[in-house]
Structure 1
Amino acid sequence: MADMAQTDDVLDCWDDLTDALGEGCVIPVTYMNSTAEIKSLCGKNGGIVCTSSNASATFDWSYSKGEKVLFLPDQHLGRNTAAKMGMRLDEMILWNPFKPLGGNTLEDIKNAKLILWEGHCSVHTRFTVNQINEARVKYPDVNVVVHPECTLEVVTAADSVGSTEHIKNVIEQAAPGTTWAVGTEISLVNRIASENPDKTVFCLDSVVCPCSTMYRIHPAYVSWVLDGLVEGVVVNQIKVDDDIRRYSKLALERMLSVV
């Protein structure tokens, strides 16, 4: 997902928005699943970082600072968050970085309250309303819980929507014998199912592939890194320049101050 918001493309977008609206009108908000450079861009321009669990709080903060929000890189999390807060769909526009003005007119940009970057999660966009309908036919008492990176149609059709922590907690706290269809990454669904043997828990998409990026966060790899640190060996050290570090930290600190 982070690769869908390349720095040069976002800078071009920011320049276009500044030319059209002036400085200070748009507050940039980036999902945690973004590069350090994008977080830095947000921090430098009065913006903030969010997670799926605190997106609403960061939206409230952002609209207290400016008239509009540029949300990136996941359009669906942005759209679902805004819709939940009562924003109309016609108050949102989609920004395609490969088209002039993101594929919008100047009037579109001036009228919009939310500018959504055209990015998405390749896993969560696999879930469909048809899958939900099929689950309800097979299990009439099924509870459907999905992640807000899913499309608005899927979120609307589900019984519950929330972050990975929300999904985990709502199933753990459910009554024994209940049935849960889950719209999120398959490895997490399998883990929740194994931790809740008194319930029926399954993924909405039976053939969905694990997220190749998240799957790299594996206990064996973490152990390897920690063992290296004990021995004085730093594995895969990541370095960023001072400006990126400073402004990224600022955007993260703003998030922590409002949640």
Structure 2
Amino acid sequence: MNCLVVDDEPLASDLIKSYIERVDGLVLAKSCSNAVEAMAYLNAHPVDLLFLDIQMPKITGIDLMKSLSIKTKVIFTTAYRDYAIEAFDLDVVDYLLKPITFERFFKAISKVFNFKAPEGQLATDYNLLHNFEASYIFLRAEREMVKVYLKDILYIESLRDYVRVKTLNSQIISYNKISYLEQKLPENKFIRVHRSYIVPFDQIITFTPQTVKIREHLIPIGRNYKNETIKALNKFNVMQS
């Protein structure tokens, strides 16, 4: 993922560049000290991700973003809180306040990788829904993007801001909300049975009104999910008959 850093403060620019070097999958394409220079570069070299300061001479970061004709993910890096509402109205990925820690930087990058999953790898894609055996997603685990085949998933468990994805041969802890994965997984293959669990229909061995069993794992059915879960399981059973 090619990155462009735009900041008129050398120390702030150097910090972001050092963070980019620490994250696999990010490549520094160029750094610019003002929006005019950045605009000239972007016209000739489209990038995937833009780290953009707001208060700069001549043209502000917000004005630069408004003028962009290409779709580039933007993370604002600024010392000012005042522009946050306007920034998010522009659909930026994140809004980082200086001084920026690596932990906060990495959290923003995790959002970017979710946005930037390659075409054909999200569960909402047509090809994925119609070729389930070959379908996969990439999940961020520490500093790596890990390929996970959907057919190998046994269950997904919420760990607050993280999820545990248990597969046939391993488990992945990824910085993701379970609600995000719920939206991405094909609903004819997966079901959320509890606020903390998503399970695949194909892996369910037995179920009761309280639990579903997947191999040796007994997964609870949440009270608020009970009716829809039992209805969906019965419907799936009829469809498979």
Bin of the TM-score, shorter chain as denominator length: under 0.3
Which has more helix, going by share of residues?
A: 1
Work out which of the two has the higher radius of gyration on C-alpha atoms and give 1 or 2.
Answer: 2
Which has more strand, going by share of residues?
A: 2
TM-score w.r.t. the length of structure 2 is: 0.27
